[in-house]
Amino acid sequence: MQLALPQPGEDLLDVGCGRGASLLPAAAAVTPRGRAIGIDKPSAMVSQATRALAARGLTHAFAVVADADALPVRTGTFDVLLAGLVLQFLPEPQRTLRRLTHMIRPGGRIAICTPAAALMTWTSSTAPQTRPSSSSWAHLHRNEHERTCRESTAQP
């Protein structure tokens, strides 16, 4: 959110908005004439985000149930795309990101946050500590972000 710096009047899409950790401040930032739309797959997340937006009187912002991979792409719809801690859940994150960047207007911004693969460890009480080796998010390195941003004319 702080990297993307949404401005008053801008239109913003928050992919995988969850309960609204980024969507709520982003919605406040684009007020009064901008729109902020959050999408998330489980309706429980969307319900919580919707309630939080309403509680703050952010009536120009919405959270809707949608799959990032099935989102209809309408070219040049948004000024800002946020994808916070969601790409690692997608089967083909690079492909999805490239698709979504078509929705950003020229000069728009994309802010992505992913866990650092090298730092991620999984633990359980029964298995030794292991690192994921081939999951899709592990390949989503900074170079990929930069390449995707270059292709979409956004700044990495």
Q: Which of 5, 7, 33, 42 binds ligand SAM (CB under 6 A)?
A: 42
Binding segment for ligand SAM among 35-43, 103-111, 124-132, 144-152 (CB under 6 A)? 35-43
Considering beta carbons, is residue 69 or 144 the nearer one to ligand SAM? 69
Of the candidate residues 12, 45, 80, 97, the single one contacting ligand SAM (CB under 6 A): 45
Indicate the residue among 91 and 150 with the shorter CB distance to ligand SAM.
Answer: 91
**Does residue 40 belong to the site contacting ligand SAM (CB under 6 A)?**
yes
Tell me 25's DSSP state: H
Reduce the DSSP state of residue 78 to 3 states and report it.
Answer: strand
- Reading across the β-sheet that carries 11-15, which strands appear in turn? 61-65, 35-40, 11-15, 78-84, 104-113
- 48: burial class by Cβ within 10 Å (0-12, 13-18, 19+)? middle
Among 6, 18, 34, 108, binds ligand SAM (CB under 6 A): 18
Return the structure tokens found at 115: 């866990």
The Cα angle at residue 66 between residues 60 and 71, in degrees rounded to 5: 95
Whether the bond between 25 and the residue before it is cis, its omega within 30 degrees of 0, is no
Q: Does 17 bind ligand SAM (CB under 6 A)?
A: yes
Q: Which of residues 64-123 bind ligand SAM (CB under 6 A)?
A: 67-69, 84-86, 89-90
CA dihedral 3, 20, 116, 150 (to 10 degrees): -40
For residue 151, state whether it binds ligand SAM (rule: CB under 6 A).
no
Query: For ligand SAM, which residue has the nearest CB?
Result: 18
What is the b/e burial string over 64-84, where b = at least 16 CB atoms within 10 angstroms of the residue's CB?
A: eebebeebeeeeebbbbbbbb
Q: Does 22 bind ligand SAM (CB under 6 A)?
A: yes
138 binds ligand SAM (CB under 6 A): no
Please give the residue ranges that form the binding site for ligand SAM (CB under 6 A). Answer: 16-18, 21-22, 39-42, 45, 67-69, 84-86, 89-90
